[in-house]
Structure 1
Amino acid sequence: MNREELTEIIVLAKQAKSLTWEAIADDLGVGKVWLTSACLGMNSMPEAPADKLCALLELPPEAKATLMSYPTKTWGWDVPQDPLIYRLYEIVGVYGDTLKEVIQEQFGDGIMSAIDFSMDVDKEENPKGDRVVITMNGKFLPYKSW
């Protein structure tokens, strides 16, 4: 079973059981963004949450091995067409250089890790329209001279 096949099975099982990513994450004791990413094939899952997910969603036996395998993290190079994903792409396009300047001014020459990293998505109610709050928290890794 490959990751694409498993992702489809997981999404269908989640829908059939009327579950949310947050409810599944709470049941497994993990973060909802990380869980969703792992279920969509972009992260490997340790054995304990893989066992729990397989039981909760009644996944086929071979699903556990696929969940635990190390993914190759690739994505399309085309400009995304989905409006929500495109807006995130646009934010990085418009503010990427700004974020780089501000981060490097505060921390020095380096990057924010996407390995030692967490992210969360929250909803902020607002009379002018609800707000999406995305919090990214990554370890700063300075470039080394040698």
Structure 2
Amino acid sequence: MEFRFVTALVTKATRPGWAQTTAQFVIESARLGGRDVVQPGFELDWDSVPRIPPLHAWLKGRAEKAACYHDWLYRYQEFRAHASRLVNPGWAVEPYALTRRQADLAFLDAMVAEGVARRHRWPIYIGVRLGGWIGWHKHRRALKSTNAGSRSVG
């Protein structure tokens, strides 16, 4: 088991191109070392395929479950192990910080688990590796400002 979706992804549309999870979305990743849970209320923009007409038509919407989990990893930049030892005694128990490369490789694993064809998943993965740094750093800045604000209170 490299990667598997334990529960179904359940979402509702919130605005054009965006959705929100309405139930826990549970995954297991051998690469990351356990089970993770995307919580209800998480807002995602699915996959960010450039709006170049042939490319967009060819790749958009191919990896919805994988895109949801990838958005979660980019937003929080950590793996939040949940009940991992119950599944596999060697897996992580405590949350740990992720690198962008780890998040992107987990995305690749998730696309395999979702059944995304190789001819689609590799261009998507390469696109994430080339352009994902923009979103990663945007979320990193937001996390730093949130953490700085929470430390300064009290």
- So what's the TM-score if we normalise by structure 2? 0.27
For the pair shown, the structure with the greater C-alpha radius of gyration is 1
